[in-house]
Amino acid sequence: MKNRIFTLLLAAACTLSLRADEGMWPLVLLQKIQDPMQAKGLKLTAEQIYSINNSSLKDGVVRLMSKQGRMFCTGEIISSKSLFLTNHHCGYGAVQELSTPADNILTNGFWAKSMTEERPANFNIGLLRKIEDVTAKVLEGININDEEGPRTKALGDKQKLVLAGLKEALGDAKNNYVVEISSFYNGNQYLAMYYEVYRDIRLVGVPPESVGKFGGETDNWRWPRHTCDFSMFRIYANEANSPADYNVANKPYAPKHHFPISLKGIEKGDFSMIMGYPGRTTRYTYSEGIKYLGGKERPMRVQVRRDIMDIYEEYMKADKNIRLMYSDKLASIGNYWNKFNGEAHDLSKPGLYEKRKAVELEFEKWVKANGKSDVYGEVTSLYDEAYLKLNQYGLYSVYLQDGISNSQPMTFAMNLIGMPEMLNDKKTAAIAKGTANSMAGGLDEMFKEFYAPIEKRVLASVLRHLYEDLDHAYLPAYLNELVAKNKRDYTKIADMLWKKSIFTDKARMSEFLKKPSASKLAKDPIYMITNGYVQKMSVDLKPIYDDINAKMGRAHRLFQAGMLEMNADKALPPDANGTMRLTYGTILDYNPFDGAHYNYFTTAKGIVDKYKPRDFEFDAPTELIDMLRNKQYGQYADPKDGELHVCFLSDNDITGGNSGSPVLNGNGELIGTAFDGNWEAISSDFMFMPDVQRTISVDVRFTLFIVDKLGKAQNIIDELTLVK
């Protein structure tokens, strides 16, 4: 069975040129798409883009990672001293952490005029060093149709074993590496990614928030755009150019590659490619999944998030200090609120469901006609059974993610789930007390972005959604009792919880953590609700979720393998999965709807036209507005029309995680930084839409204009390799 799958993958890879514009391509497949890329205008070879043994473009692309290892954005190295560029919204959290009311660099911007002024940022970056195909190792002794439960366990055990071996083979360097084994084609292929992780990252420059977020949520996912969505950081290393913890003695990392920057401009039809770390796409989602997401799951996420955002914005607009405190939270919730809102609209429209259904019917016919029922015959029934249960029980996990996890007191309570049992057990009591002591040391950070009036109202909103939207049989008994007793007055319930719970007051929480009590925690009302909800999911609903996941996982794997076999003469790009990908296309305009046309670039004139002094979303520094009105563009004006180009469009295929990715011309020179997709293709994670799907990028010349003219950071400009 394994050999047959390898043959299918090879057959698919050999035909990639058939649909080369669609897809986020793994770097190991670049040799297969080199010809169509060069036909569109690429001047480089696949080896110059991705090479293990030699310097290549991939060495200039960075993967932004939290200190805990979670990937969240992309960036690109733009100087020999490891200066790197990413989006403003990618650096937002780090900049906010460095800001105070007295030194609000989030609002005012920041430019280090020397390396000694650069400030430590609280995240890591990973540099991809190599990719290794480990499919044979992972699937050794495991067949595609093995019984699901034992197969899942065997697969998990094998991945751990293989991963341990890969790390051990790194020797002394293993402490500086993160190695991840990623699944491609829904478990039909496995590639190991080796990331060298640098831990000393420092903020170099960021424009004022009014520049980096110009347009706010009103313009989010929309074209035309006029935001300068960028921030700049630097990677530091020890004397050996290796990763090291922050130390003033560290030196700028010497990169294997940095991107030269083109000031020549772009034109419609020019080749463009993007390298980065797209998060997740699900372009093989079953038709019933489209119906579930568009009709139930996405609309509920939208409503829960919108209610929380409304509370945030009410207070943020009234108080600039609250705005600073909650700005990162609002941005985090709001970005995907907008995306989910668009997906709820698009996925519920006629078209996509019918197209998926047609593909599935063709697949079923092919299975029967080719005698493949013994391998793929159960795909349809597996999907139908899984989605039937997901429609009944799927929202419980949604409300844990989008509701409870967005209430800070409930999140605090989640951190202590299981502690009463541990405290009552002599074997684990010391561990529990150690956990409490550790949490006590982090209370200042936990309550740094905690404003009681906001959090009390958010708590009431979350409780209302839980009770009004879900089956009460799977809610905590205590919550059901509270709602009945208080006649669905959620404000009153929140007031009561606020007065009694340790999780709503820093002093009470500190007192508890110094001397943790099992009985006190178990009786805490917010703990009772949060713990009760988690217990319902992890105990009562666990068999249901296990069954859903088992059926869904098996159906995905079989359907993908079958589609590869059925379409052996066509290219089937693998879904994005957080690994480095390349997408290529052209600079291109589009027609969003009947009678309308969108140009492929915007200019500074649009900023002046949208500018509203003291507006929450469309304010801008008066110095910037004056320069733009007087057209003081310097060397950053376009050589053909004399205007300052701000943002541009390309038909590159990207998704979340690509934020901050380098947009490159055919010579591998930087022309912009990707930061968004467009509203008309908001559902592109589910289907490629070549007629309207566009990537929105900041023109690098506008970025440099802001650095130079507004930031007056000539020292940064002097570092760069500019191509005129």
Rounded-to-integer distance, Cα 689 and Cα 16, Å: 18
Tokens for 711, please give them: 């930031």
- Percent of the chain exceeding pLDDT 90 equals 91
Whether residue 706 is contained in a domain is answered as no
Q: Which of 510, 540, 570 is the last residue of a domain?
A: 540
369/6: higher pLDDT: 369
| Residues present in the chain in total | 724
pLDDT at 12 over 60: no
pLDDT at 332 over 90: no
pLDDT at 4 over 90: no
Q: What is the pLDDT of residues 164-213, one digit of tens each?
A: 999 999 999 999 999 999 999 999 999 999 999 999 999 999 999 999 99
Cross-strand pairs, 119: 203
Buried b (16+ CB within 10 A) or exposed e, 487-523: eeebeebbeebbeebbbbbeeebeebbeebebeebee
Residue 21: the pLDDT is 67
Q: What is the pLDDT of residues 202-236, one digit of tens each?
A: 999 999 999 999 999 899 999 999 999 999 999 99
Confidence of residue 22 (pLDDT cuts 50, 70, 90): confident
Confidence of residue 13 (pLDDT cuts 50, 70, 90): very low
pTM of the entire predicted model: 0.85
pLDDT at 9 over 90: no
Whether residue 374 is contained in a domain is answered as no
Residue 6: the pLDDT is 38
Query: Which three-class secondary structure state does DSSP give residue 35?
Result: helix
Total structural domains within the chain: 2
Confidence of residue 307 (pLDDT cuts 50, 70, 90): very high
Can you spell out the DSSP letters for 415-457?
Answer: TTTTHHHHHTSTTTHHHHHHHHHHHHHTHHHHTTT--HHHHHH
Q: Whole-number mean pLDDT of the chain? A: 94
Residue 7: the pLDDT is 37
Comparing 33-37, 231-235, 588-592, 639-643, the range with the smallest average pLDDT is 33-37
Residue 616: the pLDDT is 87
Tell me which residue of 57, 104, 62 sits closest to 83, measured CA to CA: 62
Residue 351: the pLDDT is 86
Q: What is the pLDDT of residues 578-623, one digit of tens each?
A: 999 999 999 999 999 999 999 999 999 999 999 999 998 999 999 9
Q: Which domain holds residue 456?
A: 394-540
Residue 569: the pLDDT is 79
Angle at 200 between CA 197 and CA 181, to 5 degrees: 15
pLDDT at 17 over 80: no
Can you spell out the DSSP letters for 191-226?
Answer: EEEEEEEE-EEEEEEE--HHHHTTTHHHHTT-SS--
Whether residue 255 is contained in a domain is answered as yes
Phi-psi category of residue 631: left, alpha or beta, with phi > 0 → left and psi -120 to 50 → alpha: left
Q: What is the mean pLDDT of residues 557-572?
A: 87
Query: Which three-class secondary structure state does DSSP give residue 168?
Result: helix
Tell me which residue of 570, 569, 601, 594 sits closest to 691, measured CA to CA: 594
**Residues carrying an active site annotation:** 89, 229, 659
Whether residue 37 is contained in a domain is answered as no
211 and 109 Cβ atoms separated by less than 8 Å: yes
Q: What is the pLDDT of residues 99-135, one digit of tens each?
A: 999 999 999 999 999 999 999 999 999 999 999 999 9
Residue 684: the pLDDT is 92
Rounded-to-integer distance, Cα 404 and Cα 527, Å: 12
Q: How many CB atoms lie within 10 A of CB 269?
A: 11
Alpha helices in 169-297 (DSSP H): 209-212, 216-219, 287-292
Whether residue 361 is contained in a domain is answered as no
Q: What is the pLDDT of residues 425-441, one digit of tens each?
A: 999 999 999 999 999 99
Rounded-to-integer distance, Cα 173 and Cα 242, Å: 9
Confidence of residue 571 (pLDDT cuts 50, 70, 90): low
Q: Which of 509, 540, 571 is the last residue of a domain?
A: 540
Q: How many CB atoms lie within 10 A of CB 68?
A: 7
Q: How many CB atoms lie within 10 A of CB 3?
A: 8
Whether residue 154 is contained in a domain is answered as yes
Buried b (16+ CB within 10 A) or exposed e, 359-391: bbeebbebbeeeebeebbebbbebbebbbeebe
- Percent of the chain exceeding pLDDT 70 equals 97
Rounded-to-integer distance, Cα 698 and Cα 230, Å: 8
Q: What is the pLDDT of residues 513-542, one digit of tens each?
A: 999 999 999 999 999 999 999 999 999 999
Q: What is the mean pLDDT of residues 332-353?
A: 90
Whether residue 534 is contained in a domain is answered as yes
Q: Which of 505, 540, 575 is the last residue of a domain?
A: 540
Whether residue 177 is contained in a domain is answered as yes
Q: How many CB atoms lie within 10 A of CB 317?
A: 11
